Structure 1
Amino acid sequence: MKTNLPPSPASPTYPLTIDNGLGEQLTFLGVQPEPDGDRLLVENTVAPGLGPLMHTHWLQDESLTVVRGRLAYQVLGQPTQYAGPGDTVLFARGTPHRFWNAGPDPLHCHGWIKPAHTIVFFLSAIYQAQRKSGRLQPEAFDAAYLLTRYAREYDLPELPRLVRQVVIPTTYLAGKLLGKYRKFAGAPAPVAA
């Protein structure tokens, strides 16, 4: 099932494919219940040169295994590393990281995120906001809402201080006053850290 709308927060139907319209596609394959938190199985396809911004999952581990292509990845403050077919990269919770397609052909990976928490909703909403803006930077009101509501779960550590302390809070407040967030009614509650 492919959609451009955030999935129902209560219970998404798997598989669920999201696409940011810029060359990144992510499929949530399903959830494996485990005693220490659900493991969300994923696969992605990323166009050459593209990948998510430097980001942090405060409460989740993320693993990617390259199926096809060349994955470049970086942990904040460290040099770029590379992975090829069969290689697995693990980003521990709380570790600021980014990855991108460093090859000439589409990058295809399988992986997981654990525990799942709000990630399906959050990433679906981010991809939709990117489609809306037509750029890797999501539409401003949606980004302000998501980064404010889920600040204890996700972060973009390379945002300038002025953006963090002034632009995002101001945009969030303006969006709230303008009724921009009605579409997020029923959004999952943030996870307590």
Structure 2
Amino acid sequence: MKTNLPKLPNPTYPHTIENGLGETLTFLRLQPEPDGDRLIVENAVTPGQGPPMHTHWLQDECLTVAEGRLAYQLPGQPTQYAGPGDTVLFRRGTPHRFWNAGDELLRCTGWIKPAHTIVFFLSAIYDAQVKSGQHRPEQFDAAYLMTRYAREYDMTDIPGFVKRVVIPATYRVGRLLGKYRKFKGAPQPVLG
């Protein structure tokens, strides 16, 4: 099985990942800046697809629509739309989701800053989605990622009980079963 996981700890650029569900993300390059590296990206999203509500605690994310129609939403706010040439900025700590609201492929350019562990994290999440064949990532991989990188990323729609009880229990079982050997050398979490 092909894996999306980059060679640890540093992939070569450009580096493309696919979740098998209509999302392709290409990490083009790291652009060094005094206040943290800016990761330059491109994405392609098929109609109706896009990531669930999520939060980057330590990073800003910016998307500029190149082709298609992007829908996006913040909690408690109505859906908003962006078309070719429009730019949407999601500030760190702000839960958000976006999806392709058109009938054609959505293509965006953008950046994430500071990059921190995002290449590894998203590559591992996409790989876990490929393994499960659905939007919900494979449970052990998801438990590892959501536990190890909890101070950096959050999946907002996961119920509190699942975050506090189910994910930690699954993580512990995964450790006992040796499920996380493949993550040896994974980047250290950023403590924010």
TM-score, L = length of structure 1: 0.97
CA contact (8 A) 1:4 1:19 kept: no
In structure 2, the partner of 1:108 is 107
Listed one character per residue, the Cα deviations across residues 140-176 of structure 1 (whole Å, up to 9, x for unaligned) are: 0000000000000000111112211111011101101
Letter in 1 for 2:100: N
More deviation, 156-165/33-42: 156-165
- 2:133 pairs with 1:134: yes
In structure 1, the partner of 2:77 is 78
Letter in 1 for 2:165: V
In structure 1, the partner of 2:167 is 168
CA contact (8 A) 2:52 2:97 kept: yes
Q: Please state how far the C-alpha of 1:77 moved relative to its aligned partner.
A: 1.6
In structure 1, the partner of 2:66 is 67
> In structure 2, what is the Cα distance between the partners aligned to 1:54 and 1:152?
16
Q: Please state how far the C-alpha of 1:10 moved relative to its aligned partner.
A: 2.5
What SS does the aligned partner of 1:65 have? strand
Listed one character per residue, the Cα deviations across residues 66-96 of structure 1 (whole Å, up to 9, x for unaligned) are: 0000000001121110000000000000000
In structure 2, the partner of 1:40 is 39
Determine what percentage of the aligned residue pairs are the same residue: 73
Instruction: Give runs of ≥4 in structure 1 deviating > 4 Å.
Output: none
Q: Please state how far the C-alpha of 1:134 moved relative to its aligned partner.
A: 0.3
CA contact (8 A) 2:26 2:43 kept: yes
Alignment of 1:1-193 (within 5 A): 4-193=3-192
Aligned residues: 191
What SS does the aligned partner of 1:31 have? strand
